[in-house]
Amino acid sequence: MSERKTYFVDVILPLSIPNTYTYRLPFELNESIQIGIRVIVPLGKSKLYTGIVVKIHESVPQNYQVKYVESVLDDQPIVTANQFKLWKWISNYYLANIGDVMNAALPSNFKLGSETKVSIHPEFDRDYSKLSDQEYLIVEAVELQDELTLKEVSEILQIKTIQPLIKKLIEKKAAIVSEELKAKYRPKYKSFVQISSELKTDDELGIVLNELESSSKNKKQVETLLRVVQLTNWGGGVQIPVLKKELITAGASDSSLATLSKKGVVEIFTAEVTRLEELNAEVSSIKELSENQYRAYSETKTLFETKSVVLLHGVTSSGKTEIYVKLIQEALDRGEQVLYLLPEIALTAQLINRLRHYFGDLVGVYHSRFNQNERVEIWNKVLNNDQNQFRIILGARSSIFLPYQKLGLIIVDEEHENSFKQYDPSPRYNARDVSVVLAAQHNAKVLMGSATPAIETYFNAKEGRYGLVELSERFGGVQMPEIQCADLVKENKQKTMKSHFSSFLLTEMEEALERGEQLILFQNRRGYTPLWSCEMCSWTPQCKNCDVSLTYHKSANVLKCHYCGYYLSPPSTCGACGSHKLKMLGFGTEKIEDELAVYLPNAKVKRMDLDTTRAKDSYATIINDFERKEIDILVGTQMVTKGLDFENVGLVGILSADQMLKFPDYRAFERSYQLMSQVAGRAGRKSKRGKVIIQAFEPNHWIIQKVMQNDYIGMYSQEIVERRNFNYPPFYRIINIQLRHRKRDVLEFGAQFFAQKLKAVFKERVLGPEVPMVARVRNNYLQNITIKFERTASAQKVKDIIMQKQHEFLAEYDFRSIRVVIDVDPQ
Ligand code: ADP
Ligand code: ZN
Ligand code: ZN
């Protein structure tokens, strides 16, 4: 670019604003500017942000004074042209600000804003000689304070644009963006045990042992010490420290270890374990496909010749994953990159082992709970189409945002799952649907897989938009599980219920345990009891910020709001009439866990729900324990339904089918079918037919019948008629507009006003405003307006009008403070 010419750049900022900003480029940066690189730019009085250059031009902005770009961060683009196109598409389709899309797309290490906090990298080797003078000064300042914002660093050191220096420090592993510290560096440390390094010879150890053995009180300590010797492979002072957890599993006693450590015989210390060391996977060749799998695989390939998307509808345990693996191998052989999308971060834990087994380091995991340095590392390797690492990305929805260069195949596993859709914050995108657009950019193929496809997806396949491949047998000829119903009306009448367990289920559980099988119990509700209620006046304790009743959590002994986290101690008397007669209604996973201790006291029970899986690795731990048969019964919410593969599950119990069926949503039947079939599919996967028991007050409900008959197509055929008759997707599209405000009257008035504006154009396609089931969340009142329009209409036109009307609405003085949340294709 010419040296003395005046250029302007359009920049996307990581802020929730609709447009790009234009800045003037100082002459000295003319040579270094490129589309796709980061620049530091000022905004407002004193703030600096990292933005991405999307356009370089010479047209002088009218109407306002342009500011200058402060500096340039990269010598090469970090965002590709394809990515910009995808961001634009998402912004346009989901009616999201481009800055929000950028925020969702870029790892936060890339976005060094004034408010970003930095600290010293925990692995910084304190080799100050590799730092420049200015870098050294920054490190010194941050070391003193533990943590500083970039703005503070810049003020202390009197350097205006601090970001390029911070970027260098991050690259040199001297500094780190603080928000990730907590996420990354806690779970990586584990307790190890070794024999004291004071003991150097067998004789010295012998003396210690003799001393301990001289008193019978020390029997446990002696046993524990011998375990340590055994598991550390100790010999003449040479040893490998052993995980404390492993020792305890092998029979060592925790308290003896503590005593031995006090006596100086063993040492207990914490050290870092890297994930890769733990995995230690060997690469092996991929499995030979069965005849059925091979047919499905070749049909898929044939269909890919004419279709870009294929749906693989294969029953649970039909071996879909092995088919994916073969297609992945072929894409790799062609030098292409592969994206393997999963609905849930949690699921990556089990699948990564399986894929590493075949592909070793070529697989990388990418999701939002992953630490930032690794995310940036993966980003760069994908950007450069590295041939040795991360050519397969296994990830949750945010992995559609990586800078693919040569994407060949996208697998969308469990495509029916609604967690592919992001609800908060904006962009409210569905990664499954975006993946089709992403694939088109690269001329790549999409394979969607599910045992219970979403109605929309199956419809697309039936209509010929997608290819369709059916796989209706389990691998190895294992039969589909036998599904039976426990009639709760009958059992209640005959008084054979034991709390929430029918005698039918309880007996089957006992028998399965006796046979040494494992069990899964599914209850779609967490906590202990969802409802406390006064027997005299029906009063229930409510959240003070939201219009919902509080759920009792026994282990914490609190009543908790699942919307905002508010909690209080359980009251002993009714808040309305003062009566002491408070009863608990309903039940959640915690109560089931509790009651199992009464009815099946010898079984080892673990619970898997949102409450037990908050820590980063807790989900993987539960799954591992279950795989290693250290758990007999796993009780869980829908988390236990999703694509897990266990060998030894003989029985699955679904505790209350009715609850799901009654949920007031047009998808309730579809969802219930999917949930029940998926959890049932966990039963009897290897070599043996499993059993499923569904507890229901309405065992003849048609959905339950379809689940029992394993008749997806029957369910689909009936459901699609309803969708057509009542104008729901896939025949109609839905856009939800939620309005939020702290004052109920302002909101109600505003919602009426907005709905009228929309009705003037869209007529009867506008529903509402109406109060949602939960009418107030975090002290904000809510009102919903729904727009349903024909699939044949121009979605773009509809959206343009909505944006126009929103603009006019928010321009009204009274309504400026109302928050408008638009959700396209809500789930
Ligand atoms: P799905 O993904 O359809 O639920 P999986 O791919 O998990 O099914 O397969 C179910 C089980 O069968 C797994 O334990 C898998 O290892 C095994 N399996 C599937 N295909 C083969 C094959 N071709 N050879 C050997 N084992 C297989
Ligand atoms: Zn609340
Ligand atoms: Zn009362």
pLDDT of residue 4: 77
Which uninterrupted H or E stretch holds 89?
helix 81-93
Mean per-residue pLDDT, 282-294: 82
Q: Are strands 242-243 and 189-195 parallel, antiparallel or unpaired?
A: antiparallel
Q: Decide if pLDDT at 179 tops 70.
A: no
Ligand 3 centroid vs 540 CA: distance in angstroms?
A: 8
Helices 150-157 and 133-145 cross at an angle (nearest 10°) of: 120
Ligand 2 centroid vs 543 CA: distance in angstroms?
A: 5
pLDDT of residue 185: 35
- Determine how many CB atoms are found less than 10 A away from the CB of residue 115: 12
Residue with tokens 């991360």: 390
Q: Decide if pLDDT at 279 tops 80.
A: no
pLDDT of residue 711: 95
Ligand 3 centroid vs 584 CA: distance in angstroms?
A: 13
Q: Are 555 and 507 in contact (CB under 8 A)?
A: no
CA atoms of 247 and 260, how far apart (whole Å):
14
Ligand 3 centroid vs 569 CA: distance in angstroms?
A: 17
Q: Decide if pLDDT at 281 tops 50.
A: no
**Residue 288 Cα: closest atom of ligand 1:** 23
**Residue 324 Cα: closest atom of ligand 1:** 6
pLDDT of residue 271: 67
CA atoms of 559 and 549, how far apart (whole Å):
9
Q: Decide if pLDDT at 783 tops 90.
A: yes
Q: Decide if pLDDT at 787 tops 90.
A: yes
Q: Which residues contact 305 (CB under 8 A, 6 or more apart)?
A: none
pLDDT in tens, 481-498: 999 999 999 999 999 999
Closest CA to 43 of 15, 7, 79, 8: 15
**DSSP string over 355-395:** HHHHHGGGEEEE-TTS-HHHHHHHHHHHHTT-SSS-SEEEE
- Tokens, residue 514: 């006796």
pLDDT in tens, 68-84: 998 888 888 999 999 99
The per-residue pLDDT of the chain, averaged, comes to 88
Q: Find the radius of gyration of the CA atoms of the chain.
A: 30
Ligand 1 centroid vs 477 CA: distance in angstroms?
A: 11
From 312, 320, 321, mutation site for ligand 1 pocket: most ligand atoms within 8 A of C-beta: 321
pLDDT of residue 823: 96
Burial class (CB in 10 A: 0-12, 13-18, 19+), 601: exposed
pLDDT of residue 479: 85
Lowest mean pLDDT among 231-245, 268-282, 568-582, 609-623: 268-282
Residue 636 bridge partners (DSSP): 522, 608
**Residue 289 Cα: closest atom of ligand 1:** 23
Using pLDDT thresholds of 50, 70 and 90, give the confidence band for residue 2: low
Lowest mean pLDDT among 27-31, 87-91, 507-511, 761-765: 27-31
Mean per-residue pLDDT, 243-261: 86
> In 156-238, which ranges are E strands?
175-177, 189-195
**CA distances to 625, 650, 821 from 683, in Å:** 17, 6, 41
Mean per-residue pLDDT, 230-235: 82
pLDDT in tens, 406-452: 999 999 999 999 999 998 899 999 999 999 999 999 999 999 999 99
Q: Which residues of 422-432 are buried (b: 16+ CB within 10 A; e: fewer)?
A: beeebbbbbbb
CA atoms of 533 and 550, how far apart (whole Å):
10
Which ligand has the minimum distance to the alpha carbon of residue 775? 2
Looking at the chain, the whole-number percentage of residues with pLDDT higher than 70 is 95
Q: Decide if pLDDT at 182 tops 60.
A: no
**Phi, psi dihedral angles at 105 (to 5 degrees):** -85, -40
Mean per-residue pLDDT, 672-685: 88
- Tokens, residue 634: 């796993």
Give residue ranges with CB within 6 A of ligand 1: 287-290, 293, 314, 316-322, 475, 645, 685
CA atoms of 336 and 82, how far apart (whole Å):
16
pLDDT in tens, 501-515: 999 999 999 999 999
